[in-house]
């Protein structure tokens, strides 16, 4: 399920041009010198690992390549379908183009995995779960020409729920319809910005087809994308604490992200047998490329503010009261 290409030996095994079938997960491995000599595999690989400093967005620098490869093998063997679908989707979406087509592609793939055995296994391992009722999951208020929207489920690290999605979409729709709104600030109450989808709610969909229609016909991602096209950097996310899963995916649609020093970023969906489903294969890929997006999903690892700023995942960070821009 995972192919490793040593760049030191890649001259004799160049990537196939225009493969007739999906190539699957391919991880390149090499030093900075080897990476500089081999652009073909950098482009063809799912991502490339090195222990050397490297600014190329197709490359991820890790402390230990062997340890990282061992983790990746274990995860891809445990979730072979989700890891393959993740690679397929990231190679297929066109993040530089209109968001709608790519969001539809992502959602169809997500629904496919929702009906698959890996997600079913996770649901069985999780067991029964009860969704707590939390009033006012999203707060919105007008501050002059700026609309301030705050996730408001702090006791669950603002885990994203169906009622939170509806309330967020309502607030964003108001901004779309009101031309006097010239700024949006998306933030979260409590210890985190948003820790991703509420795991207690997973598996409650009527069927995968209905879930796809709900995600794509009532999409905060598409609303944020449209508002960023209109407002640019004035559509801003102010993040802290856990910025995971759908929380990261939605923030990445904003024209500007400011992160506090305690922020932690990640895409943990593979551990559920799923892929990002809130537009992240588009929004995160626009910021850091498909290669580092794939690394976040397939490795399950998180990154802090320094790496996020270096990669372009965020635009500015706060260390105490001091602001550091990219």
Domain annotation for the chain: domains and CATH numbers? 2-78 (no CATH), 101-287+303-325 (3.90.226.10)
DSSP character string of 176-210 = HH-TT--EEEEEESTT-SB-SB-GGGTT-SS-HHH
Structure tokens, 176: 């779309």
Summarised one tens digit per residue, pLDDT across range 276-314 is: 999 999 999 999 999 999 999 999 999 999 999 999 999
pLDDT at residue 3 is higher than 70: yes
Arithmetic mean of pLDDT, 213-235: 97
Residues in the chain: 326
Arithmetic mean of pLDDT, 261-275: 98
Contact 195, 169 (CB under 8 A): no
pLDDT at residue 6 is higher than 60: yes
> Cα(246)–Cα(151) distance, rounded to whole angstroms?
12
pLDDT at residue 168 is higher than 80: yes
Q: What is the mean pLDDT of the chain?
A: 94
pLDDT of residue 184: 98
pLDDT at residue 326 is higher than 80: no
Structure tokens, 55: 């600014």
Helices vs. strands in the chain: H and E counts, helices first: 12, 13
pLDDT of residue 18: 67
pLDDT at residue 220 is higher than 70: yes
The secondary structure of residue 154, as a DSSP letter, is: G
> Cα(156)–Cα(195) distance, rounded to whole angstroms?
8
CB atoms within 10 A of CB 166: 13
Arithmetic mean of pLDDT, 15-42: 87
**β-bridge mates for residue 257, sequence order:** 237
Using the Cα atoms of residue 215, residue 302, residue 172 and residue 325 in order, give the sign of their dihedral.
Answer: negative
pLDDT at residue 166 is higher than 60: yes
pLDDT confidence tier of residue 88, bands split at 50, 70 and 90:
very high
Token look-up 């620098």 returns: 61
Positions of E strands within 208-273? 235-239, 242-244, 256-260, 264-266
pLDDT of residue 15: 75
3-class state of residue 297 by DSSP: helix
Arithmetic mean of pLDDT, 194-203: 94
Structure tokens, 200: 């207690």
CB atoms within 10 A of CB 191: 14
Summarised one tens digit per residue, pLDDT across range 114-153 is: 999 999 999 999 999 888 888 999 999 999 999 999 999 9
pLDDT of residue 131: 84
pLDDT of residue 75: 98
> Cα(239)–Cα(188) distance, rounded to whole angstroms?
7
pLDDT of residue 195: 98
Token look-up 């979260």 returns: 188
pLDDT confidence tier of residue 321, bands split at 50, 70 and 90:
low
pLDDT at residue 253 is higher than 60: yes
Contact 297, 274 (CB under 8 A): no
**Whole-prediction pTM value?**
0.95
Collect contacts of 43-48 with beta carbons under 8 A, ≥24 apart: 43/15, 44/15, 45/5, 45/291, 46/87, 46/90, 46/291, 46/294, 46/298, 47/291, 47/292, 47/294, 47/295, 48/7, 48/291
């Amino acid at each position: 399920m995972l192919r490793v290409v040593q760049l030191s030996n890649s001259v004799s095994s160049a990537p196939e041009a225009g493969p007739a079938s999906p190539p699957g997960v391919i991880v390149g491995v090499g030093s900075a010198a080897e990476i500089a000599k081999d652009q073909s595999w950098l482009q063809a690989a799912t991502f490339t690992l090195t222990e050397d400093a490297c600014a190329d967005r197709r490359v991820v620098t890790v402390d230990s390549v062997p340890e990282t490869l061992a983790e990746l093998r274990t995860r891809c063997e445990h979730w072979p379908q989700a890891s393959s679908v993740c690679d397929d989707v990231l190679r297929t979406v066109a993040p530089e183009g209109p968001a709608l087509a790519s969001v539809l592609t992502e959602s169809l793939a997500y629904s496919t995995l929702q009906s698959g055995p890996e997600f079913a296994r996770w649901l069985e391992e999780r067991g029964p779960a009860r969704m707590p009722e939390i009033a006012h999951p999203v707060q919105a208020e007008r501050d002059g020409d700026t609309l301030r929207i705050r996730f408001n489920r702090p006791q669950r690290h603002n885990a994203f729920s169906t009622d939170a999605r509806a309330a967020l979409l309502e607030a964003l729709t108001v901004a779309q319809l009101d031309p006097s709104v010239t700024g949006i600030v998306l933030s979260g109450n409590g210890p985190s910005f948003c820790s991703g989808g509420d795991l207690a709610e997973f598996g409650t969909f009527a069927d995968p087809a209905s879930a796809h229609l709900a995600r794509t016909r009532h999409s905060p991602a598409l609303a944020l994308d449209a508002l960023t096209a209109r407002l640019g950097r004035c559509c801003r996310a102010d993040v802290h604490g856990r910025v995971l899963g759908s929380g990261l995916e939605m923030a990445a649609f904003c024209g500007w992200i400011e992160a506090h020093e305690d922020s932690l970023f990640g895409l943990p969906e593979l551990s559920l047998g799923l892929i990002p489903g809130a537009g992240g294969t588009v929004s995160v890929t626009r910021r850091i490329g498909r290669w580092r997006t794939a690394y976040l999903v397939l490795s399950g690892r998180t990154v802090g503010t320094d790496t996020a700023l270096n990669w372009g995942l965020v635009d500015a960070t706060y260390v105490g009261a001091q602001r550091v821009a990219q």
